[in-house]
Amino acid sequence: SQQGEEDPQALSIQEGENATMNCSYKTSINNLQWYRQNSGRGLVHLILIRSNEREKHSGRLRVTLDTSKKSSSLLITASRAADTASYFCATDGNTPLVFGKGTRLSVIA
Amino acid sequence: EAGVAQSPRYKIIEKRQSVAFWCNPISGHATLYWYQQILGQGPKLLIQFQNNGVVDDSQLPKDRFSAERLKGVDSTLKIQPAKLEDSAVYLCASSPRGASNTGELFFGEGSRLTVL
Instruction: Check CB contact of B48 with chain A, cutoff 8 Å.
Output: yes
Position A1 scores a pLDDT of 46
Question: Which residues in chain B have Cβ-Cβ distances shorter than 8 Å to A32?
Answer: none
- The distance of A96 to chain B (nearest Cα, Å) reads 7
Phi-psi region of A23 (alpha: psi -120 to 50; beta: other; left: phi over 0): beta
Instruction: Please return the burial class of A6, using the count of CB atoms within 10 Å of its CB with bins 0-12, 13-18 and 19+.
Output: buried
Model confidence at A103: pLDDT above 60: yes
| Greater pLDDT, A97 or B112 | B112
Instruction: Please return the burial class of B96, using the count of CB atoms within 10 Å of its CB with bins 0-12, 13-18 and 19+.
Output: middle
In B, minimum Cα distance to A5 occurs at: B42
Position B101 scores a pLDDT of 67
Q: Residue A73, Cβ neighbours under 10 Å: how many?
A: 17
Query: With an 8 Å Cβ cutoff, are A45 and B40 in contact?
Result: no
Position A10 scores a pLDDT of 96
Q: What is the pLDDT of residues A17-33, one digit of tens each?
A: 999 999 999 988 989 99
**Mean pLDDT lowest for which of A6-10, A91-95, A99-103, B102-106?**
A91-95
Average pLDDT score over residue span A4-9:
86
Q: What is the pLDDT of residues A45-84, one digit of tens each?
A: 999 999 999 999 999 999 999 999 999 999 999 999 999 9
Residues 32 through 51 of chain A touching chain B, CB cutoff 8 Å: 33, 40-45, 48
* pLDDT band, residue A5 (cuts 50/70/90): confident
Model confidence at A40: pLDDT above 50: yes
Instruction: Check CB contact of B68 with chain A, cutoff 8 Å.
Output: no
Position B86 scores a pLDDT of 98
The closest of A16, A19, A17 to A34, measured between CA atoms, is A19
The closest of A65, A33, A61, A63 to A52, measured between CA atoms, is A65
Position A96 scores a pLDDT of 82
Position B98 scores a pLDDT of 73
Whether residue A31 contacts residue A45, with contact meaning beta carbons closer than 8 Å, is answered with no
Longest alpha-carbon distance in chain B: 39
Q: What is the pLDDT of residues B49-89, one digit of tens each?
A: 998 899 999 999 999 999 999 888 999 999 999 999 999 99
**Mean pLDDT lowest for which of A21-35, B11-25, B88-102?**
B88-102
Partner-chain residue, chosen from A45, A92, A102, that has the shortest CB–CB distance to B42: A102
Position B91 scores a pLDDT of 98
Question: Which residues in chain A have Cβ-Cβ distances shorter than 8 Å to B102?
Answer: 30-31, 92, 96-97
- Average pLDDT in chain B: 94
Encoded amino acid at B51, one letter: N
Instruction: Check CB contact of B105 with chain A, cutoff 8 Å.
Output: yes
Model confidence at A94: pLDDT above 60: yes
How many Cα neighbours within 13 Å face the side chain of A76? 28
φ, ψ of residue A79 to 5 degrees: the values are -65, 155
